[in-house]
């Protein structure tokens, strides 16, 4: 390890790293992000290590544990370089074949390649896989190439060159102006212009000034920030240091939620290595600029992601929001000027400094520039992280990248923006995804989660789920949010169970208006979106629950019943043997019958009935026929 004392030293180190590496040497990159680790990536890594030692090849073939490349649906992911052969769903038992066939003989292991479901053709490299083909990956493209625990991997790919340029060629004011011209908007959900926030913080009176990374990602189904912090922490750190230089800050914080232990580990090591290499601490790269960073582990509360709540937590208080009579850029952490941006925002900064504001402005829509990372989850074939230019339509994201809906089900809608976002119906799928278009539809960009819902999802139940989540996560400090969410949950519970009344819709709308107007923070003001958007777009489902006492999606337990068609039943007894209530018995004719007085409507009989038979009928009161 060499401590860098100048800009020239950084360039020399990069040159030395590249010259010491043999690009023709076989290298096996294995995704070691949280998603793949849960699917057995650690066993795959160990299997490679043990097999290479057994064959005496441990010095000829390099094993690299990397960050998440996004295709979480198909983990564990393994890429064999230099050819870049992309294998999916790899298990430890597949390791001998990969070594013997692909690395030693140059052959492909067909069963591990991605097969296009339409053409049935195998994709050999990443760019041939539809999931990646339609993306524009600037932020997460290097995750599969970098060992996040080795700073030299990041430097070899050009890392910290933007910092060097900012410190040696630009004044702090010029850095801010470049970010302003790029029109970068905060990726944490609010979409506030980043350059304006930085300028306001720099010009605010008072010292010291603080810069903070918000990695308190609490949205259900969201893991964009986690993947960046786990897989490429130096990209975030570089952006943070540049921001600190621009705003005149000498102290920064990385706030990471407690549930992200791997992100904490990799970020902690990144800080340690950056200090050792002279990229953090005193006299960075010999330029005279001093800056250091501490990591704070959040308690896990969803509301702690709100800027003032996060700063309260950093100060050692309970992570509750406080009134914003004065912007945090003027009076934030410990009453000093503070700039808070999320992980993805900071990761964009080195790209802007390196390639210029004009380049960044060439991507996206008129008011939403650059790319955005989304977590694509729910009822979609290809789940994972996707990075696309702002303005790509929901339809393209779901069908071109996501591969459509499983089981050829009908798409019902999309929930964007986390629990405080709205549900957008299928008829708006051609809407460009950016900050303003989603807001106009009653939803929001949020941190970037996209949850796909199909015809089997009940809009009322979905709204109740998110309200229930937010009810639990509300800090309770202000009455509109605390009591409003409780009352909303009570009403939605009643509607879902068939006890709703025709005045409930108006009551929900009145509560929502009060919460939107009077809540202390953004949680309460936006918590109404799931309810208002479902009433706006799926009013017929509310009416069916309230007036007809039925659930059109056959989802709400209280409004659904199960029976067995004797003309179809083959008498396999699977339903009777697996019923937890013993509610299924055989009649005199030997056919299975459901005792409705005992049935708890768990749906096990419906799920376990052989698909070729489908004798169990699920139906809702007042709904003719049923759904098999």
* CB within 8 Å of 594: residues ≥ 6 apart: 562, 563, 564, 583, 584, 605
DSSP conformation letters of 130-190? HHHHT---SSSTTGGG--TT-HHHHHHTTTTHHHHHHHHH--HHHHHHHHHHHT-B-TTTT
pLDDT at 623 over 60: no
- The reported pLDDT for the residue numbered 245 is 98
* Burial annotation 412-445 (CB, 10 A radius, 16+ → b, else e): bbbbbbbbbbbbbbbebbebbbbbebbeebbbbb
**Least confident among 242-256, 266-280, 607-621:** 607-621
Grade residue 611 by pLDDT with cuts at 50, 70 and 90.
Answer: confident
**Least confident among 50-54, 116-120, 218-222:** 218-222
pLDDT at 628 over 60: no
Grade residue 282 by pLDDT with cuts at 50, 70 and 90.
Answer: very high
- The residue among 136 and 327 whose pLDDT is bigger is 136
| Distance, CA of 88 to CA of 209 (rounded, Å) | 46
Burial of residue 590 (CB within 10 Å: 0-12, 13-18, 19+) is exposed
Q: Quote the longest CA-to-CA distance of the chain.
A: 91
Q: Is the dihedral of CA 561, 563, 568, 570 positive or negative?
A: positive
Nearest to 80 by CA among 54, 119, 52: 52
Structural element, H or E, at residue 485: helix 479-496
Q: Is the CB of residue 616 less than 8 Å from the CB of residue 610? A: no
What is the rounded average pLDDT of the residues 388-405?
Answer: 93
pLDDT at 418 over 90: no
- The reported pLDDT for the residue numbered 591 is 80
What is the rounded average pLDDT of the residues 458-467?
Answer: 93
Q: Is the CB of residue 566 less than 8 Å from the CB of residue 591? A: yes
Domain architecture of the chain: domains with CATH: 19-128 (3.40.30.10), 159-362 (3.40.50.11540), 371-454 (3.10.20.600), 459-548 (1.20.1440.230), 561-619 (3.30.70.20)
Quote the pTM value.
Answer: 0.91
What is the rounded average pLDDT of the residues 110-128?
Answer: 91
**Least confident among 163-172, 238-247, 280-289, 588-597:** 588-597
Count Cα atoms within 13 angstroms, Cβ side, for 15. Answer: 6
- The reported pLDDT for the residue numbered 624 is 47
* CB within 8 Å of 100: residues ≥ 6 apart: none
pLDDT at 304 over 80: no
pLDDT at 626 over 50: no
The bridge status of strand 78-81 relative to strand 27-31 is antiparallel
Q: What is the separation, in whole angstroms, between the first and last Cα of the chain?
A: 65
Grade residue 422 by pLDDT with cuts at 50, 70 and 90.
Answer: confident
**Residue-wise pLDDT tens digits, 514-550:** 999 998 888 888 889 999 999 999 999 999 999 989 9
As a whole number, the mean pLDDT across the chain is: 91
pLDDT at 460 over 90: yes
Q: Is the CB of residue 298 less than 8 Å from the CB of residue 313? A: yes
Grade residue 421 by pLDDT with cuts at 50, 70 and 90.
Answer: confident
**Least confident among 131-135, 325-329, 340-344, 372-376:** 325-329
Residue entry with tokens 């959900």: 189
Angle between helix 261-276 and 233-247 (nearest 10): 60
- The reported pLDDT for the residue numbered 302 is 77
**Residue-wise pLDDT tens digits, 185-197:** 998 877 899 999 9
Structural element, H or E, at residue 389: strand 384-389
For the chain, percent of residues with pLDDT exceeding 90: 69
Q: Is the CB of residue 372 less than 8 Å from the CB of residue 390? A: yes
- The reported pLDDT for the residue numbered 1 is 62
Grade residue 558 by pLDDT with cuts at 50, 70 and 90.
Answer: confident
**Residue-wise pLDDT tens digits, 4-61:** 888 999 999 999 999 999 889 999 999 999 999 999 999 999 999 999 999 999 999 9
What is the rounded average pLDDT of the residues 502-519?
Answer: 93
The radius of gyration of the chain from alpha carbons, rounded to an integer in Å, stands at 27
Query: What number of other Cβ atoms are within 10 A of residue 465's Cβ?
Result: 17
What is the rounded average pLDDT of the residues 378-393?
Answer: 93
- For 21-65, where are the alpha helices, taking DSSP H only? 34-38, 41-55
| Distance, CA of 558 to CA of 289 (rounded, Å) | 64
| Distance, CA of 373 to CA of 231 (rounded, Å) | 14
Altogether, the residues listed in the chain come to a count of 628
Query: What number of other Cβ atoms are within 10 A of residue 607's Cβ?
Result: 12
- The reported pLDDT for the residue numbered 420 is 80
What is the rounded average pLDDT of the residues 441-455?
Answer: 84
| Distance, CA of 621 to CA of 626 (rounded, Å) | 10
What is the rounded average pLDDT of the residues 548-555?
Answer: 90
């Amino acid at each position: 390890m060499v401590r860098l004392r100048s800009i020239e030293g950084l360039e020399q180190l990069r040159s030395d790293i590249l010259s010491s590496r043999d690009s023709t040497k076989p290298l096996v990159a294995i995704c070691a992000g949280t998603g793949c680790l849960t699917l057995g990536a650690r066993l795959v890594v160990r299997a490679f290590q043990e097999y290479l030692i057994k064959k005496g090849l441990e010095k000829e073939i390099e094993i690299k544990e990397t960050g998440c490349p996004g295709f979480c649906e198909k983990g564990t992911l393994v890429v064999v370089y230099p050819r870049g052969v992309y294998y999916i769903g790899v298990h430890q038992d597949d390791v001998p074949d990969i070594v013997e066939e692909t690395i030693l003989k140059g052959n492909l292991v067909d069963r591990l390649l991605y097969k296009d479901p339409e053409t049935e053709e195998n994709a050999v490299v990443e760019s041939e896989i539809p999931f990646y083909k339609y993306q524009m990956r600037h932020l997460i493209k290097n995750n599969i190439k970098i060992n996040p625990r080795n700073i030299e991997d990041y430097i070899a790919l050009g890392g910290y060159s933007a910092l060097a340029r900012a410190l040696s060629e630009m004044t702090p004011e010029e850095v801010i102006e470049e970010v302003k011209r790029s029109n970068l908007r905060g990726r944490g959900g609010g979409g506030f212009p980043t350059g304006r926030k930085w300028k306001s913080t720099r010009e605010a009176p008072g010292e010291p000034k603080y810069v903070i990374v918000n990695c308190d990602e609490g949205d259900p189904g969201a893991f964009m920030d986690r993947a960046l912090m786990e897989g490429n922490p130096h990209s975030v750190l570089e952006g943070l240091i540049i921001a600190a230089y621009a705003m005149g800050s000498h102290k920064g914080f990385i706030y990471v939620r407690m549930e992200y232990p791997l992100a904490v580990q990799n970020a902690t090591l990144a800080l340690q290595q950056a200090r050792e290499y002279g990229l953090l601490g005193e006299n960075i790269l010999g330029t005279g600029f001093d800056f250091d960073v501490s990591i704070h582990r959040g308690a896990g509360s969803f509301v702690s992601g709100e800027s003032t709540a996060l700063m309260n937590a950093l100060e050692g208080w309970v992570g509750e929001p406080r009134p914003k009579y004065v912007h945090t850029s003027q009076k934030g952490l410990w009453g000093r000027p503070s700039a808070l941006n999320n992980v993805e925002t900071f990761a964009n900064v080195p790209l802007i400094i390196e390639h210029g504001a004009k380049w960044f402005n060439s991507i996206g829509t008129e008011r939403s520039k650059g790319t955005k990372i989304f977590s694509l989850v729910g009822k979609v074939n290809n789940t994972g992280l996707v990075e696309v230019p702002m303005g790509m339509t929901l339809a393209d994201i779901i069908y071109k990248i996501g591969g459509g809906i499983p089981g050829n089900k009908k798409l019902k809608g999309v929930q964007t923006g986390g629990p405080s976002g709205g549900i957008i119906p299928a008829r708006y799928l051609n809407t460009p995804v950016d900050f303003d278009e989603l807001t106009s539809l009653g939803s929001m960009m949020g941190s970037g989660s996209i949850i796909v819902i199909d015809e089997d999802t009940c809009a009322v139940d979905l709204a109740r789920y998110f309200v229930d989540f937010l009810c639990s996560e509300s800090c309770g400090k202000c009455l509109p949010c605390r009591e409003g969410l409780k009352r909303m949950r009570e009403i939605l519970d009643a509607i879902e169970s068939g006890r709703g009344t025709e005045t409930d819709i108006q009551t929900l709308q009145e509560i929502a208006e009060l919460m939107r107007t009077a809540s202390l923070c953004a949680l309460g003001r936006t918590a109404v979106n799931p309810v208002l958007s479902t009433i706006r777009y799926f009013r017929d489902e509310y009416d069916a629950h309230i007036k007809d006492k039925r659930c059109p999606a056959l989802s709400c337990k209280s409004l659904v019943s199960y029976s067995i068609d004797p003309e179809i039943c083959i008498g396999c007894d699977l339903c009777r043997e697996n019923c937890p209530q013993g509610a299924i018995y055989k009649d005199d004719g030997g056919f299975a019958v459901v005792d409705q007085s005992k049935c708890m409507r768990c749906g096990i009989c419906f799920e376990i009935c052989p698909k070729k038979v489908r004798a169990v009928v699920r139906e809702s009161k007042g709904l003719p026929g049923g759904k098999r």
